[in-house]
């Protein structure tokens, strides 16, 4: 079974608005990562937050992590049409080797 679950599964907003995606997971983690996937392409890493961090920023991205609730959120501010993509959270478990376990993703559509 998959570790993470994203919410919502799909999100459609107007350009310029903020987009928030949530991720919940089940077990203790070492870190949590967010990835972006454009249609028909591979995944691209966006941001990583460690288990001892609560918030992290990168450009228009803001990620929060609440380990007590086993949840994370990704906020994209001032969205652009080019942000249209699927976004995945991935929890990182250290079980001998590192295992990256993905959620089902949020499909984000930015309407011009």
Partner 1 sequence: NAGVTQTPKFQVLKTGQSMTLQCAQDMNHNSMYWYRQDPGMGLRLIYYSASEGTTDKGEVPNGYNVSRLNKREFSLRLESAAPSQTSVYFCASIISRGAEAFFGQGTRLTVV
Binding site for partner 1 (CB under 8 A): 1-2, 30-31, 33, 35, 40-45, 48, 50, 88, 90, 92, 94, 96-105
C-beta of residue 21 within 8 angstroms of C-beta of residue 32: no
Measured between alpha carbons, how far is residue 20 from residues 25, 28, 90, 93 in Å? 17, 23, 16, 24
C-beta of 40 vs 112, nearer to partner 1: 40
C-beta of residue 18 within 8 angstroms of C-beta of residue 77: yes
Question: Residue 69: which of 32, 39, 25 has the closest Cα?
Answer: 25
> Shortest gap between Cβ of 111 and partner 1 (angstroms)?
23
C-beta of 7 vs 15, nearer to partner 1: 7
> Shortest gap between Cβ of 87 and partner 1 (angstroms)?
11
> Shortest gap between Cβ of 82 and partner 1 (angstroms)?
19
C-beta of 21 vs 43, nearer to partner 1: 43
> Shortest gap between Cβ of 16 and partner 1 (angstroms)?
29
C-beta of 67 vs 104, nearer to partner 1: 104
DSSP states of 8-48: -SEEEEETTS-EEEEEE-SS--SEEEEEEE-TTS-EEEEEE
């Amino acid at each position: 079974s998959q570790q993470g679950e994203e919410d919502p599964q799909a999100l459609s907003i107007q350009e310029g608005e903020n987009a928030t995606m949530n991720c919940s997971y089940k077990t203790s983690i070492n870190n949590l990562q967010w990835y972006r996937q454009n249609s028909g392409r591979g995944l691209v890493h966006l941001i990583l937050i460690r288990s001892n961090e609560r918030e992290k920023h990168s450009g228009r991205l803001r990620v929060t992590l609440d380990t007590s609730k086993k949840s994370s959120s990704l906020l994209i501010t001032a969205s652009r049409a080019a942000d249209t993509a699927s976004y995945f959270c991935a929890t990182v478990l250290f079980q001998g080797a590192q295992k990256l376990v993905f959620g089902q993703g949020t499909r984000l559509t930015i309407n011009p």
